Amino acid sequence: MCGRFTLTWDTWRRVAEALGVDDENEVGASYRRRFNIAPTDPHFIVISEFEQRKARPAHWGLVNRWARDNSRASQCINAKAETLEQRASFREAFQQRRCVIPADGYYEWRGPKNRRQPQWIHDPEGGLLLFAGLYEAWYPARNFAEVTFTIVTCATNATIASIHDRMPVILDERAAADWMNPYEKEPLSLKRLLVPAPEDLLFIQPASPLVNSVKNDGPELLQAKPEGFHLTS
């Protein structure tokens, strides 16, 4: 499961350089630090096109090209790695439209329902995380296409198991290149990449309960107890 994530790097140029994409594009023009990316929010994906990486604006929550509206987008934010080729919502995208979603962390929650404590799960050295994803383009209006994406999840590793039984698939550079390859003739062979991240890749840090509201989006969300904030039951 991945229901919120972050990309807190300060400049688009830095992100673009790490991803190997052009730093002058539509994504760069609107880029800002994000501390609470939620379902249906705008973000961006990276694809491989003519052996070059391209960043494209996209909304989180996959909407199939044949859909009449985006009412099910929030139900398609994650896709289980085990059943990509079986689910009608994801089958064609798995075969033809694979991408990575750049992030630098994601949230999960632990504790009782009335005092749920968000946890920020991230690379302790602040590196980028490349989530495996699928994308589609649908048409909310005639001659206007909107790109949407879903994050592929797999069984968790031992580090995350105490919080949740699922985690996003996190690809290294080589695996990301293989996953995005549009010329792959046997997509099923790529399922070998959809495995839990190494146990030492991620660090779990308590975050602020302010994460619970999608209206909040600032650096204070990464603080476990921001000044002046009190939990109420």
pLDDT digit string (tens) for the chain, length 233 residues: 789 999 999 999 999 999 999 988 999 999 999 999 999 999 999 999 988 999 999 999 999 998 888 888 999 999 999 999 999 999 999 999 999 999 999 999 998 888 889 999 999 999 999 999 999 999 888 888 899 999 999 999 999 999 999 999 999 999 999 999 999 999 999 999 999 999 999 999 999 999 999 999 999 999 986 443 443 32
Token pair for 95: 């075969």
What is the C-alpha separation between 215 and 41, in angstroms, rounded?
11
Q: E strand or H helix at 132, and its extent? A: strand 129-141
Range of the domain at 64: 5-222
Number of domains in the chain: 1
Q: What's the predicted TM-score (pTM) here?
A: 0.94
Whichever domain contains 64, its CATH number is 3.90.1680.10
Residue 169 located in a structural domain: yes
Residues with Cβ within 8 Å of residue 176, at least 6 apart in sequence: 100, 130, 132
Token pair for 20: 């190997």
Helices (H) and strands (E) in the chain, counts: 4, 13
Residue 70 located in a structural domain: yes
Does the annotation mark 199 as catalytic? Answer: no
What is the C-alpha separation between 228 and 186, in angstroms, rounded?
55
By three-state DSSP, how is residue 224 classified? Answer: coil
Residue 180 located in a structural domain: yes
Candidate list 2, 76, 99, 154, residue with the active-site label: 2
Candidate list 76, 108, 136, 154, residue with the active-site label: 108
